[in-house]
Amino acid sequence: MRTLIANGTIVTADGSYRGDVLVDGETIAQVGADLAGAGVAADETIDATGKYVIPGAIDVHTHMELPFGGTFAKDTFETGTRAAAFGGTTSIVDFAVQSRGASLRAGLDAWHAKAEGNAVVDYGFHMIMSDVNDDTLGEMDQLVAEGVPDFKLFTAYPGVFYSPDDHIFRAMQQTAKNGGLIMMHAENGPAIDVVAAQLVAEGKTDPYYHGVARYPIFEGEATSRVIRLAEAAGVPVYIVHLSAKEALDAVRGARDRGQQAFAETCPQYLFLSLDDLGNGFEGSKFVCSPPLREKDPHWQELWTGLKKDDLQVVSTDHCPFDFHGQKELGRGDFRKIPNGLPGVEDRVDLLHDGGVVAGRFSKERWVDVISTGPAKLFGMYPQKGSITVGADADLVVYDPNRKRTISAKTHHMDVDYSCYEGWSVQGASDVVLSRGSVVVRDGEFTGRKGHGRFVKRAPADYARLA
């Protein structure tokens, strides 16, 4: 099957130009001006006049079916990747979880079993390490060889995913040898627990106090600590879901020193704030960690960080829990609210609207932070995140002028609310191709469960990207 995407504006991280893209089977076969006029034949032609043609977006931080707070994140690989496709995201990298006392192998196998035959678009895995010991350290090298080169550890969530500094440092030393990447959830969990217990003892149990307890300085402290530990171990480090100026300062400082330190933020930290955690128990819809911050100074700092490349990626941390029955587990004690927000479907449009339309950055930078940047840092480039001959034909015909309203009534994520209910955004995906197959066309799903494949990833050239 040959598909010609004609007359569009091809937008890449490097530049934009009028051109056509020929897809042959699963890959891009030709890119050039007026291929149709030059006699290139195709089985189907998609007219992209007035539209952008962008590489499929890549979300490198999702949690399908994550066990958390006595329940599970609601989207499966089928529903979550289907929602992703509607929003122009054609690859995800999800976090496989090592359960305490079990092996990394068992955790990874469990995640393969969840995804295989179910995913609608391509997927890869990072590994969450819950125990660091001689056995799990030994397993890390094998995972790198199997295409899972990144390991997430936590200075947050004592008693759940938390690792003490000596464990983190040992995992960093091992990763320095095997060539992979350490990903850090950097908040000072023990200090947060002290403040949270004091607030609850004062009767301050509403979701709002989840945001109060998790001071920005606790994120800044943990971020600078893990960055310094990574420097000592000689390993590249990537800070996930960065939310606060204090943490960004630590990343910026490290990058200025020449350290291989990278970071992502998420739409919720660019568009939502501590105010959303108010309004009684409704605020539970916005409980995630790190928490939503005060607008000032954090929003402006994060947008500037994205523009100046102190932040390289916008991912979602998609981790959806229903308001009814799941978030409600924390009525009367904010510490029991499952942490996480839905978002995999809306990232591309929110960043187009709030980034490009609002004039905060260029459309090329938009493509960089939602697709090319993550592809490079997570060992998928140029197979993904590029519009080049031989790359996977993961492509989006994007209408930069179409306006749509975000709502739980119309979204495809399996969750009963939207954090952006009623918001109007400018920009939407018209046609989405995953490895040459049209999976979404004009609001209709045309893909297939099981089409998505595991992407075996290699460590990236972190030194070059730093």
94 contributes a contact to Zn ion by CB under 5 A: no
3-class SS string, the chain: CEEEEEEEEEECCCCEEEEEEEEECCEEEEEECCCCCCCCCCCEEEECCCCEEEECEEEEEECCCCEECCEECCCCHHHHHHHHHHCCEEEEEEEEECCCCCCHHHHHHHHHHHHCCCCCCEEEEEEECCCCCHHHHHHHHHHHHCCCCEEEEECCCCCCCECCHHHHHHHHHHHHHHCCEEEEECCCHHHHHHHHHHHHHCCCCCCHHHHHHCCHHHHHHHHHHHHHHHHHHCCCEEECCCCCHHHHHHHHHHHHCCCCEEEEECHHHHHCCHHHHCCHHHHHHHCCCCCCCCHHHHHHHHHHHHHCCCCCEECCCECCCCCCCCHHHHCCCHHHCCCCECCCCCHHHHHHHHHHHCCCCCHHHHHHHHHHHHHHHCCCCCCCCCCCCCCECCEEEEEEEEEEECCCCCCCCCCCCCCCCCCEEEEEEEEEEECCEEEEECCEECCCCCCCCECCCCCCCHHHHC
Q: Which of residues 157-186 bind Zn ion (CB under 5 A)?
A: 185
Given ligand URP, Zn ion, none, residue 3, with its beta carbon under 5 to 8 Å by kind, binds none
Min. distance of Cβ 451 from ligand URP in angstroms?
Answer: 26
Q: Cα–Cα distance between 88 and 395 in angstroms, integer?
A: 8
| CB closer to ligand URP, 22 vs 148 | 148
Min. distance of Cβ 127 from ligand URP in angstroms?
Answer: 13
> Which residue type sits at 114?
K
The residue of the chain with the least Cβ separation from Zn ion equals 185
Min. distance of Cβ 160 from ligand URP in angstroms?
Answer: 10
51 contributes a contact to Zn ion by CB under 5 A: no
Given ligand URP, Zn ion, none, residue 247, with its beta carbon under 5 to 8 Å by kind, binds none
| CB closer to ligand URP, 289 vs 312 | 289
| CB closer to ligand URP, 269 vs 281 | 269
150 contributes a contact to Zn ion by CB under 5 A: no
214 contributes a contact to Zn ion by CB under 5 A: no
Q: Residues 258-297 vs Zn ion: string with x where CB under 5 A?
A: ----------------------------------------
Given ligand URP, Zn ion, none, residue 92, with its beta carbon under 5 to 8 Å by kind, binds none
Min. distance of Cβ 163 from Zn ion in angstroms?
Answer: 12
Given Zn ion, ligand URP, none, residue 385, with its beta carbon under 5 to 8 Å by kind, binds none
When binding is defined by CB under 5 A, the residue of 317, 349, 353, 399 that contacts Zn ion is 317
| CB closer to Zn ion, 276 vs 317 | 317
Min. distance of Cβ 191 from Zn ion in angstroms?
Answer: 17
Min. distance of Cβ 76 from ligand URP in angstroms?
Answer: 16
Given Zn ion, ligand URP, none, residue 288, with its beta carbon under 5 to 8 Å by kind, binds ligand URP
Binding site for ligand URP (CB under 6 A): 63, 185, 241, 288-289, 317, 319, 339-340
Given ligand URP, Zn ion, none, residue 340, with its beta carbon under 5 to 8 Å by kind, binds ligand URP
Min. distance of Cβ 319 from ligand URP in angstroms?
Answer: 4
Residues engaged in binding Zn ion (CB under 5 A): 185, 317
